[in-house]
Structure 1
């Protein structure tokens, strides 16, 4: 079978993931390989050279990357987040994409920091956390307060990374290679036209820009978990068919509880994935139906998108935990492969976009009530 460029990238990633974990970020040259595969033009407006990927197609690619390395999958997932920038003036977007459609975006919106108004825009100062992928970013976003014109929503201010200080303080157990460093700005003036409202009305009239931007970000982070869970199940099948126990007991695959447990975990993950991808495809088909008149994603469809994303993240973490619990004493060692996968699997479900509060919010919408959390779509 001919190896594709995507397959070659995955093979290189398998060789380099330890490098990324040790240094704490995915190297810029490797992000360049992700660019070459179109991941960072998949959400660029087509009028600026983008090549739109339907969300389910993009999410599948992120899942495959995450099955090799969750950190790299997390960084690659930000290829979807250029949809955040759809509310920028078209003149600003033209400047952003002037050198080509492959733009690596990283964001650190919170905590929102003060920005003094100036004649041209805002004088930005402060420190922001969790700027995943900032070491290879072409443009980064920091959060500043909104005003009456933004209906209380915070603004995102776009800044070239060389104008900021990147503080390499990412010392964590899971997702160690995401480079989710702090950003520091000292008297950085940002012109007003380089700011946007997160979730603001887009000026780009293309199907992907009608897909709920915050929802898409939640899906892209959630699917990383599914890739990590797949890696754990693949490992479980391989190791289960291998060596016998040090106590002389039968190998894992010869034990009924192990076979049944892994089978149940497989069914659990596949079920959550099916719901996740079904919701994504249903929403996308609604958007593209009837072109040139573009459709919309209904509140109920959005609720299923958010619910399936939160459910997939938590289910995937449970699957990895189950594999560890079935794997005996070998898995308790710090350097055992399942320990790294377990640490990675626990991270996405902690993101605010994927918290248990999404269940209540989705349930409220499905019952005809307003969502119970802000920024639900």
Structure 2
């Protein structure tokens, strides 16, 4: 499937909800400073994202979810990120139910019994040792970067076995209700401030076996979405935030280009050839990265729907799309900030937010330079770094 064959609009738009989407995006723009100041997106706004279908997108169809195709979900997160990167980042975790598909099916039935619109947030690292006891695990420790934790219905933490004779046991995720977890309010960062990626602290809580799963483990639900590469998808939904932020940055330069003459008397931005050249280059870079993302994603989805296995080469290509869109988006934002000149140095300027948010997206471990090394290794037929595939 080529990018030209893929639908351009998010699924919600196809369903005839254009007006509701436009109103929601307007509210995000109006409240994004508020979200940044309080350092999280509140539950009452998460409820609006639920109405949009963000948090049932990865819920199994058998439990009332939509099982949304990855490309459609990525477009939805991209569009939300145009309005605000932090809200887009929090919305991206609507894909987190692909992890939960590794829970026992009976556990999932209980999880979604109240509603398919489930918000799940996790502080997975650093992996903390847990003691295996009869019927489950005693969990204790502190975990970092739990984006969206203040609006979550369930929380997950990463644990490893602290059992004699099992030093190499694979890490797993323990799922707990919010009342069993303390949120350590310490998210104080330069960008994506509204994501509320605080620490999680658990003190000697018992978690039954059936409420734990191996991260990226074999799903117990047989639906197409859960055959899409889990870790690659987790990286893509984060990287796509930078496509939305970059589009917002180009749009901001467009708004500025015909505005007032500079205080120095220099021509308007649109009348400067170097500005026109850089905007054209930015448009080409952004669209190229975007096409790469949706073309590779569509190809893998087509493979899955055809009933064929996803190859290591395809998984690697998906990992590469994620790091490339994060890099390209960040570069576009930096270039647009440069074009804006002195005007953009003021803290209230929209390009300030874009600059900080895009830089933080690029810093995520899933989107670092090392991913290019892994992708290059697979392309050249040599073993990639451990954990890459």
Q: Output the TM-score relative to the length of structure 1.
A: 0.95
The residue number in structure 2 matching 1:352 is 365
One of 192, 211, 214 as aligned partner of 2:228 = 211
Equivalent residues in 2 for 1:39-78, closer than 5 Å: 39-78=54-93
Measure the CA separation in 2 of the matches of 1:261 and 1:73: 26
The residue number in structure 2 matching 1:116 is 131
Residue 295 of structure 1 deviates from its aligned partner by 2.5
| 1:180 equivalent in alignment to 2:197 | yes
User: Secondary structure at 1:110's aligned position in 2?
Assistant: strand
Measure the CA separation in 2 of the matches of 1:231 and 1:240: 14
User: Secondary structure at 1:125's aligned position in 2?
Assistant: strand
Measure the CA separation in 2 of the matches of 1:240 and 1:35: 37
User: Secondary structure at 1:209's aligned position in 2?
Assistant: helix
User: Secondary structure at 2:56's aligned position in 1?
Assistant: coil
User: Secondary structure at 2:281's aligned position in 1?
Assistant: helix
The residue number in structure 2 matching 1:332 is 345
Worse overlay, 361-370 or 302-311: 361-370
The residue number in structure 2 matching 1:191 is 208
The residue number in structure 1 matching 2:238 is 221
Paired residues of 1:87 and 1:202 also in contact (CA < 8 A)? yes
- Count residues in correspondence: 372
Residue 319 of structure 1 deviates from its aligned partner by 0.6
User: Secondary structure at 2:344's aligned position in 1?
Assistant: helix
In the alignment, structure 2 segments of 5+ residues that lack a partner are 1-15
Residue 2 of structure 1 deviates from its aligned partner by 8.3
The residue number in structure 2 matching 1:232 is 249
Runs of 4+ in 1 over 3 A off after TM superposition: 146-152
The residue number in structure 2 matching 1:37 is 52
The residue number in structure 2 matching 1:128 is 143
The residue number in structure 1 matching 2:172 is 155
In the alignment, structure 1 segments of 5+ residues that lack a partner are none
The residue number in structure 2 matching 1:320 is 333
Kindly report the root-mean-square deviation, in angstroms, between the aligned alpha carbons of the 2 structures.
1.6
Paired residues of 1:70 and 1:344 also in contact (CA < 8 A)? yes
Worse overlay, 144-153 or 200-209: 144-153
User: Secondary structure at 2:193's aligned position in 1?
Assistant: coil
One of 19, 28, 39 as aligned partner of 1:4 = 19
One of 340, 365, 372 as aligned partner of 2:378 = 365
Question: C-alpha deviations, 1:137-160, integer Å up to 9, x for none?
Answer: 011110110478896431100011
Residue 333 of structure 1 deviates from its aligned partner by 2.4
| 1:308 equivalent in alignment to 2:325 | no
Q: Output the TM-score relative to the length of structure 2.
A: 0.93
